[in-house]
Structure 1
Amino acid sequence: MRKIFLNMSLSNKIVAMVFTMVMIPVFLMSWLFVKEMQLSIRHEVSSNYVHVTGQYVANLNYKLDIYKNLQETLLANQTFQTVMQNQYRYDAQDMIYISNLFSSEIKNVIFSDYPEIYNIMFYAENPEFPRDGRHVASLDVMENEYWFSSVPETYMLEPIVFDYRTLGLKKKIVSFANPMKDLSVDTSIRTLAWLKIDVEAELFFEESLVRKQSNEFQFAIRDSRNHILYASNETFAARLDSGAVSGQAMVEFLDSGEVLVRERIEALNGEVLFLFPDFEIEKKTKAVFNKVIFFVILILIFTLMMSYLMSLILMKRLRRFINKMARVKEGKLEIAEYIEGRDEIAIIDSQFNTMVRRLDEVIQENYIQSLSKKKAELSALQNQINPHFLFNTLESINAMATVMNAREISAVTESLGDMLRYSINISDSLVPLREELNNIVHYVKIQNVRFDDRFLLSIQVEEQLQSAKVLKLLLQPIIENAILHAFRGSRSVGHMEVTAEQRDGQLWLIVTDDGAGMSREEVRQLNDTLLSGERHGHSIGLQNVHSRVNLTFGQSYGLRIESDPGIGTKVAIVVPYVK
């Protein structure tokens, strides 16, 4: 992967990096947004489901209140009370009368407002009470019926569910049973009879519900004993009975994606459970997801376009820089254009321009140095006036002085011959420091013959430094300048000392004299003259040495001069340390 990335063009790298840096956060934020929207949708949909459930409970409670009022009306009905208070006065012969009386009175009470009522039964305490099988019977008959086994011993109002079979049909019946008290006595606890109202469960529970679609959701009614009073779907009832759906939480999101909502029904001492399918949540989530995908694709296209345009702009400037480098490679050092801006490319271009200008300056300086060096060599060649003739002449003078016993003349002639031989030998530009020191010894010896031994030269150079390579005739002009200027007009002996030090790869040759010295202004002017390269005044020898060092080793090498009036002068020659 790294190799593929390195081999890609810069424009492709820019597109890839911009795409990566933009799209990773976009994808992450999109994923988080979808997740957040899923939670929001689930909350919104569940709130709607809770509202539907609450509305149903409110409608059911209203209907239960109606039936409660109906029960109270029937139990307090004067006709029913009178009959039941006098139930022991009737026998089987009064069956038709009682049946017609109850049927007529029931119709007068309920009219036709209760289509879900299947039957209304009164069970008298008297076992001999007439029974018609429709609306009246005795308590012993009730005790033998299926539903009676579920009646609470506390005689609290609670609907009882049982299967009622008639004409070969199986109907689910919800029964409301309540004892009839004797209202003729204010504090009576006597039970005259039992009232049982049978209603068809489907009509009773479904009528309280307004459905958008018949199969949109399922619901069930469960009593305090977890007995299912009614379920809109047998499969849902089976899941509740098996415990596959617990219904313990107010709102529960099942693993199947369905939503289960439960709410308490106080009038039934039970609860209702609604099971909503997941298609609404899925539908809304899918709509949000599609919108997110659409915007992500838009961002992707926009990012690719912008990164491509950015890469074109960048590559245009880079190509200008590459073309400039190609021209420099061909030797064309003229800078014809500059890359505008303040970014890294503009900075690199500015540094490159500076480097090219400096390269041009160095080439020009090297060319000038080369010309100067050749000119100096030519001048040296022109100054060699028949060296063999001069050597032979000096040898003849030395032989005559020896014959005439003129030892001083012989010594001076010998020293002069050694100096001449050393100076005119141009085969070597660099010589051991030892030879340079020997040359200034001969020079001082000749000057002492001329000035009656007025100069004393001291050389303090370690043996290992004497093998270092230096320019020829490096020290002699410095010694000559001291003799001609530092000790001019002085009759006392002039002391000169030559030392050498190695500092950080450099060789420092230091010539010190105790002559007249120079003022600070004179030292400043002399140093300025050396730096400028101009030749004038009485320091031509120093200027020549400084220029030769500069031309040979570079601008960082040369002479350093210090001086104090009446104390003396110190001249340091700084050259590379070459073994």
Structure 2
Amino acid sequence: MKFITKMYLLLFVLMTPVILLFVYSTQLSTKVITNQINIANEDRLSQFMLKIEGMMDQVSNLSNLISKDPDFTKFALYSNTMNRFEYATLLETIEQKLGLFSLSVNKMSRINVYLPPSRHAVSSDGPLVYDAEYLKHNLSTRWTLRTITDSGITKRAFTRHFVQPYQSLSNPDKATIIVEVDLMEDNLISLLDEYKLEGNNDPFFYDNSDQFVYNDSANVEMAELITKSYDFEQSSAIANHEQIRLDDKKFLVYFNKSEKLNWTVIDYVPLQDILAPVTKSRQLFYIIVAILLTFGAVSVILLHLNVQLPIKHLTESVLSLKRGNFSERFRKKPVKEFQVLVFQFNEMAKQIQHLVEKVYLEEIRSNEAVMKQLQSQINPHFLHNSLAYIVSMAKMNRTQPVISMAYSLADYYKYTTRNVTMTTTVRHEIAFVTSYIDIMNYQLDNIQYSVDVPDSLLDMPIPRLLIQPIVENAIVHGLESKLGGGSIRIAGIEEEVWWSITVTDDGMGLSEEECAEINLRLDSSVKDDGHVGLWNVNQRLRYQFGSDSGVKVSPSDGGGLKVELRWKKL
């Protein structure tokens, strides 16, 4: 493990218990505060709902009294048979009672009384026309929010009907009295405003039909977003609160549903506002910890720069020297404590480089001598075959082939004995090989050949006499003993990091096992008695282009042999 890593690890071990203890304490405090606030807000919201239900119950009780008042019943049943005086007197009485009932509620409300037997209707707000169709389609014994017109002003109100007898609810025409109570929405808005003034809250009413009653300063967009984000009707929460995330902020949402009204009062508070003191304390602690960690990190860095880094750079220089980079020197200015050590290292590296370069030059000269020796071994092999051909032609008194062969051999040895450089180009080697095939055709007269080498390969440098021994083997061992002659195809291929030249014939060929045995012998660094030409070519490729280069033998698709010369791009 690195020194600086150990120092950072030590700093981490020292600070971790402190941070963990504070985090645990903060989480515990946050949990306690949140629980207490949840309990307080749930209780407050519950009391608020009880207050609203109490107001509704008060209105309901008064409406129930009206439905059972004998004067209203009498007017409903007998108003059509009364004389004008009795009718006017009783109507005035019930209107006065209706006004008193409306005032006793002490809330903004309106009471309408419908009398189906007499087809009359009275209201606390003035004259009212009896409308049977209205009652038939709008009669409800539950509180519902609807839009009404009061003194020419359109408002929203919670409405409930009280029917006597109750069995006539489905058929209003058979009822004796129907009392309609309109509790104005302004009453609930006023209560919501009072509730909001007591804390950092934003209460509103909501029912499952997406109807809302907001306070006067409500955040309507946030209220709608909360109701869309959480299903209050299907809530499985044990307590009447839930923590939700909106716009990357956490909110505590409190809700209390009234079974009497079938509405839910919802309140929400940003969690960050509740936990502001705890958050401030936590941020202060984190700042202090950050300062301590910064001082610790700076101390570790100074130690790293002045002690560990010089040692690391010196170690890297030693490893680079070990890998063979003998020109490696420690070039960075060392601190005072390391100056003597760095100076001695640079002197040592300088002496090692001098000795290694001397040995390397000797090795280069040795490799050149080996390559020349391998190249020279090819010439006697070919010369023997060529002279045998000349002797054969001379015995048959065929002077023209002898003359042509002699000139060709002169050109051949002019090419092969040019030892000023040990390399040639693929273009010159291919031209030399085609001349060689022409010479062999003087003897065999039945060899066809083709050359397909890309232009990018023609000017690439290769060792001399690299392809000719392969072609010679193809003719002597593959095509010479085949009746009807044969063909040779020379092809060049360029790959991403490789060059290759293949010599393919359709001669006698070898089996897979024989090819594998030859490849195994070629990989040996010791020359075998057989396949001298292939072995020489393989060794020369390796000397020139590296150990990954070489010769590979395999059966060709035409039944003959395929020899691939493959070497890396330099």
TM-score, normalising length from structure 2? Answer: 0.42
TM-score, normalising length from structure 1? Answer: 0.41
Greater CA radius of gyration, 1 or 2?
1
